């Protein structure tokens, strides 16, 4: 496994993230998770990626055709992952883990894929549109030790603040990044992130445009909440 020198994480709104793991100026790998259809009210910027992940087949998570291959590698189509399984692309290991979009185990909204991603010597976990009030022991075991967790907090279609905080405590990541909550112009009436920040004791978390991180930045036993702006 290649350990990249640094990682940059940017939130594009809803559950969409652009992640770049860079080993040198000449060598990097780009991932995009859950690109959405602009019909949801948000503006999806042009995105490039080597790997695109979609957690489930809803329009606010499955617009994989909007993502192009990196121009630096000649463009082309990125490698697309849309469900459970184990994958390794460009020295990035990805594990898709089955889960449910709602507490009725898929009866209302279907299934969802949790992705555990190993890159740059760090383990990331994107929960997608998780609706389970808590993770099962099997899911926790398959996810493993998490450095950076992306968790939905807006309720309505996913877990809300209290359940999200409970799941954070189940996984005990070094960093947690809330997603899938109310934003200006978003056509879904989701809850704000405020209640989740309160649950996590992070009411005064200062929003930032992107997260630049190296493996040695991950220290300490407490979970840090990082709020990103799209």
Residue 106 confidence (pLDDT): 47
Determine contact, residues 116/95, Cβ cutoff 8 Å.
Answer: yes
More confident residue, 58 or 96: 96
Distances (CA, A) of 148 to 187, 223, 225: 28, 9, 10
SS3 211: strand
pLDDT band (50, 70, 90) for residue 204:
confident
Q: Which of 214, 213, 211, 204 is nearest to 228 (CA)?
A: 211
Determine contact, residues 142/95, Cβ cutoff 8 Å.
Answer: yes
What is this structure's pTM? 0.93
Write the pLDDT tens digit of every residue in 112-157: 999 999 987 899 999 999 999 999 999 999 999 999 999 999 999 8
d(C-alpha 105, C-alpha 103), whole Å: 5
Q: Which residue has the tokens 């080993």?
A: 23
Joined together, the tokens standing for residue 49 give 């990626």
Alpha helical stretches, state H, 11-160: 137-143
Q: Which of 170, 55, 180 is nearest to 110 (CA)?
A: 55
* Model confidence at 80: pLDDT above 60: yes
Write the pLDDT tens digit of every residue in 208-230: 999 999 888 887 778 999 999 99
* Model confidence at 104: pLDDT above 70: no
* Model confidence at 25: pLDDT above 80: no
Q: Compute the C-alpha angle 19/25/27, nearest 5°.
A: 65
Write the pLDDT tens digit of every residue in 29-58: 999 999 999 999 999 999 999 999 999 888
Determine contact, residues 152/164, Cβ cutoff 8 Å.
Answer: yes
Residue 177 confidence (pLDDT): 98
């Amino acid at each position: 496994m290649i350990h990249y020198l640094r990682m940059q994480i940017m939130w594009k709104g809803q559950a969409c993230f652009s992640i770049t793991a860079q080993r040198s100026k000449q060598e990097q790998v780009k991932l995009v998770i859950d690109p959405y259809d602009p019909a949801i009210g948000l503006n999806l910027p042009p995105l490039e990626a080597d790997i695109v992940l979609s957690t489930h087949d809803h329009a606010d998570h499955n617009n994989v055709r909007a993502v192009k291959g990196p121009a630096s590698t000649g463009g082309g189509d990125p490698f697309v992952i849309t469900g459970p399984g184990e994958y390794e692309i460009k020295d990035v290991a990805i594990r898709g883990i089955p889960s449910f979009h709602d507490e009725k185990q898929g009866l209302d909204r279907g299934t969802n894929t949790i992705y555990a991603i190993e890159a740059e010597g760090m383990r990331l976990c994107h929960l997608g549109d998780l609706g389970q009030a808590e993770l099962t022991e099997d899911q926790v075991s398959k996810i493993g030790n998490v450095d950076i967790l992306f968790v939905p907090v807006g309720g309505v279609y996913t877990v809300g603040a209290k359940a999200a905080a409970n799941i954070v405590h189940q996984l005990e990541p070094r960093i947690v990044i809330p997603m899938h909550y109310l934003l200006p112009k978003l056509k879904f009436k989701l809850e704000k992130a405020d209640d989740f920040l309160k649950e996590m004791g992070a009411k005064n978390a200062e929003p930032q445009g992107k997260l630049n991180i190296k493996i040695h930045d991950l220290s300490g036993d407490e979970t840090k909440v990082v709020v990103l702006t799209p």
